[in-house]
Amino acid sequence: MQASGFFHIHSGWSYDSELGLEQIRESCLANGAKFAVLAEHSRDFPWGRLDEYLAAVKAISDYDFLFLSGLEYEFSGIHLLAFGCERYLPHEDINECIAACRDGGGGVVWAHPRKRDFRSLKSWASRLDGIEVWSARYGCRYLPDPGLCRRLKELRKTFPDLRGYGALDAHGIRDFRGPRLSLNIDVLCGESLLAELKKGKFKIEHKGISIPSSGQPGWARGLLHLFYGGYRFLDWIVP
């Protein structure tokens, strides 16, 4: 079946979000989404309640809508979104974090990357599942970032398994406007959804714009550069 969902959503388990899991579910369903990938801040996360968090995420998932748990780790300004892990732990070292998340069966995506941090990427890029090339919060709701698409294209020459992801980085009800991940899946369950997302078997879509997980738009890149700046300005003046 065809299913779409939103990637990178903060619930009330994050210090800067007041969204309840039920609110997220209702907002996603109202927008035609069938799944959501969470991204709670590891900073200030109540680690003593981790089992409670994982149980709450599982309890609110069913055949109609599915959550994947996730934590957003920060390392000197570099943010990694680990999702679908069997177990999450606090980490101080980026390489240890990636290794532990991969060992736990989860996916790891570089969230809203900064261009200046690409210099340090090569030491751990081979173990990433991808990078966010389209961020509604840090880029533009309407179009992917042409610079990040270009960098992903270059990285894929060395790391062909890297994928491009589209993310909301939602913290409130008004944030459910932006790119979603669309895919075909036989059964909507956590194991199948996680596998499809890690393999990059999805498209990033919003408002008639669609790009594959390779991050390369099928239309002229020049047009993307031309319109991206204008749409970012529109994003800024229209809350």
**In the β-sheet with 70-75, what is the strand arrangement from edge to edge?**
40-41, 70-75, 78-83, 107-111, 130-135, 163-167
Identify any residues that bridge with 4 across adjacent strands, giving them in sequence order: 182
DSSP characters over 91-116: -SSHHHHHHHHHHTT-EEEEES--GG
Q: Structure tokens of 68?
A: 């994947």
| Predicted local distance difference test score (pLDDT) of residue 229 | 58
Closest by Cα among 211, 181, 176, 146 to 4: 181
Structure confidence at residue 222 (pLDDT): 47
Residue 130 contacts residue 164 (beta carbons within 8 Å): yes
pLDDT reported for residue 146: 86
Per-residue model confidence (pLDDT) at position 156: 93
What domains, with CATH codes, occur in the chain?
Answer: 2-237 (3.20.20.140)
> pLDDT 10s digit of each residue in the chain, 239 long?
899 999 999 999 999 998 999 999 999 999 999 999 999 999 999 999 999 999 999 999 999 999 999 999 999 999 999 999 989 999 999 999 999 999 999 999 999 999 889 888 877 888 999 999 999 999 888 889 888 998 999 999 999 999 999 999 999 999 999 999 999 999 899 999 999 999 999 999 998 889 999 987 755 454 555 555 554 554 554 45
Whole-number pLDDT of residue 208: 85
Q: What is the pLDDT of residue 189?
A: 94
Res 236: pLDDT: 54
What residue type is 157 in one-letter code? K
CB contact set of 221 (below 8 Å; sequence gap of 6+): 146, 149, 150
pLDDT at 226: 52
